[in-house]
Structure 1
Amino acid sequence: MNGNRFGRLFQVTTYGESHGDAMGVTVSGCPAGLELDEDDVQAELDRRKPGQSMITTSRGEPDAVVINSGTQDGYTTGTPIGMVIENKDARSGKYEPYVTAPRPSHGDFTYSAKFGTRNWGGGGRSSARETVNWVAAGAIAQKILAEHDIEVKAHVNQIGDIEAPPVTFEEMLEHAEENDVRCAHPETADRMLEKIEEYQKAGDSIGGSVYFEARGVPRGLGSPRFDSFPARLGQAMFAVPATTGVEYGLGREAREWTGKDRNEDWEFDEESDPTPVGNKHGGLQGGITTGQPVYGEVSFHAPTSIPKEQTTVDWETGEEKEIQVVGRHDPVLPPRAVPVVEAMLNLTIVDFMLLSGRINPDRTDARPGEYDTDYHPSSPRDE
């Protein structure tokens, strides 16, 4: 099975199944000298882990991370960083009825048809539990970006037909983590919570979307065509389970704008460099970053595991059967998807920063080599 690696220079390779022994990730390409310990990663995993509130799955996973390679004395060494998160509360027995009777809208049949077998406990490799690895890797990318004054933040901007008004980056930083929905507009968050609880009580689920934004991204990241920034961003976000749409800038709204209205004039900025007037393009022109904030939205369909009665077929017996997918499942995905979206944006930006040469691939400027007191990042001997 291929498709388990993301990134060109900052490479993330993952493994694990929903109800297997553990989830794991190897991060290659992290420069040496970055201060990093398990608490840095755990802080992000705690935002994604299950059981946070009444609107998330009750699966009791602590998601405790162990870093088992790539660091020494609290700093990265430049070698691959290995991280493991054990599964502590898997209950595969509830999935036995679906071994040969696929749950509606899941990957049960497609995985079996492709590979001739699958790990059926909790959906195995197709489960959104896999994203715990991405968030762990994204925490490392976040620390690297912080050294370059790049900051990423996201919040839930829509649940069902309830949409939050636009909020500022500062409002996202201040309010997004204050409520269970992770919506940075408190009044809308209350309405969203009511909507989610309605579907939860009815044994159903509901979709929504996550708005993301990155500040401090330098101009010039991305290459034309297949390696453009939006192309790679789309790959990152469409990999997130349940994603049905990825937009940047005006997104779908752009189809309603004329060229004259959407186009942005140019002016000189404070450093006498050309800069667009406005940012309807979402910080991207010609597939390359402009130096303005990169922003957009990821849409998610409703969770497919619901207790309402549905119809399936058993491919061994040839019979139709009515099923109810009982278990511990989220009634809505965007609240727990916020740290996942942030992680994938962090990983995308770091990879482009390495590809562009804006990050030294060998070591960061944060800490000189322990045995190299004369080290300076611009020294010719280190080039």
Structure 2
Amino acid sequence: MNTFGTLFRITTFGESHGPGIGVVIDGCPAGLAVSDEQIQAALDRRRPGQSDLTTPRAEADRVEVQSGIFRGETTGTPISLYIRNQDQHSHDYSHIEHAYRPSHADYTYDQKYGRRDFRGGGRSSARETAARVAAGAVAQQLLNQQAIKVNSYVSQVGAVAVPVSYEQLDLSLIDTNLVRCPHPETAERMADLIRQTRDRHDTVGGLVTGVVQGLPAGLGEPVFDKLHSELGRAMLGINAVKGFEYGSGFAGTLLFGSEHNDAFYTDEAGRVRTRTNHSGGIQGGISNGQDVYFRVAFKPVATILQPQSTINDQNEAVTLAGRGRHDPCVLPRAVPIVDAMTSLVLADMLLRARGNRV
């Protein structure tokens, strides 16, 4: 349950309030040039305390490469990346040692294991995703060799949504604002909503859109490990995710087949293309060479600084209010996590595709 991937595999470890968190990457080919700076840059996009829209927990999230990379290249052996925790306030969670926070994993962890680490949620904390982001940055450097681009951005916060598709956006603007939305006018409205929500001691959810460009045709397995099913599994394994759709998604159910089918043609350069892309770049579970795009739904953060009714581990009714430092909206920091999980899926699929032909 702590390992993800088939050939390009990662195993994460650590808890929110332990000494640190980390990841072991197994199956990365030897000879891949890996930049520590690119790994750190990805972690900097996810780290807490980066703006007034996120949790003020102050973690530098400095990555330590402990094995598997020598003189800037992978050796083919397991890559170990470690991130030390430095700003834990474990006392902020003493009030929930015996109480179950609404919509958290407190109760379910108790039922599964008969015990739980109540300090920040322990293993269920989104702090664990920093390890995935570090691993995803390595996977992205493998994708760079094939000129495959992965971009994710915040496309909706609450009811405030980007009014155009990704094709009409300049994705280079994603990191030009605190929300990570490449539509500047909408980004301002999103930021205002997050601040208003924070000031009410509440939280808000929304959508992240992911886009993959330059992906070759032929990636994905025909039955159980379809490309979209692996992407969906990756996204649904991220904390606070409630839904995943690719291509036309649920909106496609409103179209007739004659409207929804993507007609093939050959362009001036002799490349096979489709006139529309309702398929989201995936047909039969296999990439068709068009852009892959999808949306990931994130719920409002479960910890709110308001009194809520719940029970304790003796099944007694209690009132509980959140304490500590929490995001009023996870979306700005979720963008690099979606990027990372997408990159991990695609790196794995690239390696698996190498064995499909003589």
Please indicate the TM-score interval, normalised by the length of the shorter structure: over 0.9
Q: Which runs of 5+ in 2 are unaligned?
A: none
From 311, 319, 335, give the equivalent of 2:309: 311
Correspondence 1:156-235 to 2 at 5 A: 156-168=154-166, 171-235=169-233
| Counterpart for residue 19 of structure 2 | 21
The one-letter amino acid paired with 2:174 is A
Normalised TM-score (structure 1): 0.90
| Counterpart for residue 319 of structure 2 | 322
SS at match of 1:177: helix
C-alpha separation between the residues in 2 aligned to 1:144 and 1:335? 25
C-alpha separation between the residues in 1 aligned to 2:117 and 2:313? 17
Deviations for 1:222-263, whole angstroms, at most 9, x for unmatched residues?
A: 112211101111100000111111011111101111111001
Residue 274 of structure 1 and its aligned partner are, at CA, apart by 4.1
Residue 173 of structure 1 and its aligned partner are, at CA, apart by 3.0
Residue 272 of structure 1 and its aligned partner are, at CA, apart by 3.8
C-alpha separation between the residues in 1 aligned to 2:212 and 2:351? 17
SS at match of 2:152: strand
| Counterpart for residue 374 of structure 1 | none
The sequence identity of aligned pairs, in percent, is 44
Residue 100 of structure 1 and its aligned partner are, at CA, apart by 1.6
| Counterpart for residue 337 of structure 2 | 340
Normalised TM-score (structure 2): 0.97
From 262, 265, 283, give the equivalent of 2:263: 265
| Counterpart for residue 301 of structure 1 | 299
C-alpha separation between the residues in 2 aligned to 1:127 and 1:172? 33
| Counterpart for residue 153 of structure 2 | 155
SS at match of 2:31: coil
| Counterpart for residue 282 of structure 2 | 284
Residue 268 of structure 1 and its aligned partner are, at CA, apart by 2.0
| Counterpart for residue 31 of structure 1 | 29
Q: Answer whether contact 1:154 1:172 (CA < 8 A) is retained.
A: no
Q: Answer whether contact 1:16 1:125 (CA < 8 A) is retained.
A: yes
| Counterpart for residue 141 of structure 1 | 139
Q: Which runs of 5+ in 1 are unaligned?
A: 360-382
Residue 271 of structure 1 and its aligned partner are, at CA, apart by 5.2
The one-letter amino acid paired with 1:111 is Y
SS at match of 2:175: coil
C-alpha separation between the residues in 2 aligned to 1:61 and 1:198? 25
Computing the radius of gyration from Cα coordinates, the structure with the larger value is 1
Deviations for 1:183-237, whole angstroms, at most 9, x for unmatched residues?
A: 1100000111111111110000001110110011000111122111011111000
The one-letter amino acid paired with 1:330 is D
From 44, 47, 50, give the equivalent of 1:46: 44
| Counterpart for residue 104 of structure 1 | 102
C-alpha separation between the residues in 2 aligned to 1:128 and 1:144? 25
Q: 275-284 vs 345-354, which deviates more?
A: 275-284
C-alpha separation between the residues in 2 aligned to 1:170 and 1:41? 29
C-alpha separation between the residues in 2 aligned to 1:26 and 1:125? 16
Correspondence 1:349-368 to 2 at 5 A: 349-357=346-354
Residue 169 of structure 1 and its aligned partner are, at CA, apart by 5.7
SS at match of 1:122: coil
Q: 31-40 vs 50-59, which deviates more?
A: 31-40
Q: Answer whether contact 1:207 1:303 (CA < 8 A) is retained.
A: yes
Deviations for 1:157-194, whole angstroms, at most 9, x for unmatched residues?
A: 00000101225468443211011111110000011111
Residue 306 of structure 1 and its aligned partner are, at CA, apart by 0.7
C-alpha separation between the residues in 1 aligned to 2:199 and 2:69? 47
Deviations for 1:12-69, whole angstroms, at most 9, x for unmatched residues?
A: 1000101111001000111111122422210100000000110100001000000000
Q: Answer whether contact 1:306 1:325 (CA < 8 A) is retained.
A: yes
C-alpha separation between the residues in 2 aligned to 1:75 and 1:341? 25
